Amino acid sequence: MNTTTPVLRAAHPQHPPLPPPDYARNYQPSYPDRAALAAAMATLRQAAGVATPATISALQHDLAALATGRLRTPLIITGRCAEPVGHENAATIAGQSLRCRELVRSAFAPLAVIDVERGRGQNVKPRSTPAGQHATNGSLAPYMGDAINGAPESERTPDPQRLVQAAQQALAVEQVLRQRIGRHRYAAHEALSLAYEYSLLRAGSNGTCYAASGDLLWLGNRTNDPDGPHAALLADITNPVGVKIGPDITPARICALARQLNPHHIPGRITWMIRIGTGRPDTLRAALGAIRQHASHTLVLYDIHGATRVSMDGTKIREVHAVIQDIAATAAAAQAAGLKLHGLHLETIMDDTRLECTDRPGQLPQHAGGIDPQLNPQQLRQVLAATARYLL
């Protein structure tokens, strides 16, 4: 193991060096070989990304038009919970992406949709603690997504080469998508790995920078600290950004995030992803009121995490009817606050044989989710059909 500590810098000089790993604060894995991490970041600094200034600008234009009411069409983000790396070829992944795209488009036809894939970078996952419990001999590093480590217990040591593999796969999928549909499909993911995101920053115009890793990046519910490194990263890029807000959100934090991420009040710059759930109506009303007061001309999305519950044995449950009810309640609360529900953020898997989300109360899932339960194609159709009226 190399015992030196190289300075890990971003691809754009306006960003500070990579902060040291501190899982309790920033959910960054601890790589045992920092020199290997530096080498991986150097490779990523030379790599092509999936997003360009043109695609980012096009999405920002659409979101601004939606935020100001000039465009009345839903924003739908769909895709895998945890994107696998190295287990499927690019053609297979692209085919799944396009099937999901067609399901979304057909649900709203003939109306156009702002269609965004949760993918080409959604392969880093925050876990509640830096160590999980080994079944037989104590603590074990948690599985943090295929871009960090592997789910098998023998692959839990974070490996920086996985970041490179994730970027290579994202670009390969992007190339197949462009070949098949003749254009770019907007890509979005949580900006969680600072090593990955820092390395894929690229110079924009007039001294600005953009993230080439995706068109829209979001802060997770765990990393939406206005004073944290993830918010600082998103504040400095020209991409549109998302913010997930959950049951612990406060109006003060929403105000601070709005100031941090959009000081110039650019319409459509921020998309708020609401994962509060129907069991906390006071929190939901307060959050939407704060968005109305402090973040004008931003977007409000429902996030499927709001309908997730955990059974007595620790199984995560998402029941389709509960998702539909949650969307309806979020739409009603937004309307009461003088806002509009602009769209949905749903975790989906294009496999008709899987039953990760349940179809009725009391039913248990037949298959484990990709960390969280994902809607299969039939369930996605059902959710979109039942809730389209709230988005139009």
CATH number reported for the structural domain that contains residue 77 in this entry: 3.20.20.70
**Band of the pLDDT at 135, cuts 50, 70, 90?**
very low
| 85 is a domain residue | yes
């809607």: which residue's tokens? 375
Sign of the four-CA dihedral 378, 380, 381, 386: positive
65-70 contacts at long range (C-beta below 8 A, 24 or more positions apart): 65/268, 66/114, 66/268, 66/299, 66/342, 67/267, 67/268, 67/297, 67/298, 67/299, 67/342, 68/267, 68/268, 68/297
Nearest to 96 by CA among 166, 173, 168, 172: 173
Structure tokens at 362: 């009391």
Count of the separate structural domains present in the chain: 1
SS3 379: helix
**What does DSSP assign to residue 336?**
H
Structure tokens at 21: 């790993």
Query: Beta strands of 48-181 (E only): which ranges?
Result: 75-79, 114-118, 132-134, 138-140
| 15 is a domain residue | no
**Band of the pLDDT at 332, cuts 50, 70, 90?**
very high
Q: What is the mean pLDDT of residues 329-337?
A: 97
Residue 95 neighbours by CB under 8 Å, 6+ apart: none
Distance CA 101, CA 99 (A): 5
Distance CA 1, CA 77 (A): 41
**Band of the pLDDT at 198, cuts 50, 70, 90?**
very high
SS3 234: helix
Q: What is the mean pLDDT of residues 86-94?
A: 94
Residue 132 neighbours by CB under 8 Å, 6+ apart: 139, 140, 141, 142, 143
pLDDT at position 311 is: 82
pLDDT at position 137 is: 45
Decide: 18 and 194 in contact? Cβ < 8 Å: yes
pLDDT at position 15 is: 64
pLDDT at position 111 is: 92
Nearest to 204 by CA among 165, 251, 237: 237
| 324 is a domain residue | yes
Assess whether pLDDT exceeds 80 at residue 21.
no
Assess whether pLDDT exceeds 50 at residue 105.
yes
Distance CA 261, CA 94 (A): 32
Q: What is the mean pLDDT of residues 113-117?
A: 98
**Band of the pLDDT at 1, cuts 50, 70, 90?**
very low
**Band of the pLDDT at 133, cuts 50, 70, 90?**
very low
Residue 349 neighbours by CB under 8 Å, 6+ apart: 80, 81, 356, 370, 374, 375, 376
Helix (H) or strand (E) holding 310: strand 309-310
pLDDT at position 13 is: 59
Decide: 231 and 225 in contact? Cβ < 8 Å: yes
pLDDT at position 96 is: 97
Decide: 164 and 195 in contact? Cβ < 8 Å: no
Distance CA 338, CA 191 (A): 30
Q: What is the mean pLDDT of residues 111-130?
A: 89
Assess whether pLDDT exceeds 90 at residue 25.
no
Q: What is the mean pLDDT of residues 371-383?
A: 96
Rounded percentage of the chain residues whose pLDDT exceeds 90 = 81
Residue 93 neighbours by CB under 8 Å, 6+ apart: 119, 169, 173, 176
Distance CA 335, CA 341 (A): 8
Q: Give first-to-last CA distance, the chain, whole Å.
A: 57
For residue 271, what are the β-bridge partners? 242, 299
Torsions phi, psi of 358, nearest 5?
-100, 155
Structure tokens at 375: 């809607």
| 100 is a domain residue | yes
Task: Give the helix ranges, DSSP H, for 84-160.
Answer: 90-108
Q: What is the mean pLDDT of residues 161-181?
A: 98
SS3 44: helix
335 is in which domain, residue-wise? 25-128+138-390
Give the residue with greater pLDDT, 228 vs 8. Answer: 228
| 268 is a domain residue | yes
Nearest to 273 by CA among 324, 190, 344: 344
Average pLDDT, the chain: 92
**DSSP string covering 165-179, please?**
HHHHHHHHHHHHHHH
Q: Whole-prediction pTM value?
A: 0.94
Assess whether pLDDT exceeds 90 at residue 239.
yes
| Lowest mean pLDDT across 58-67, 131-140, 309-318, 361-370 | 131-140
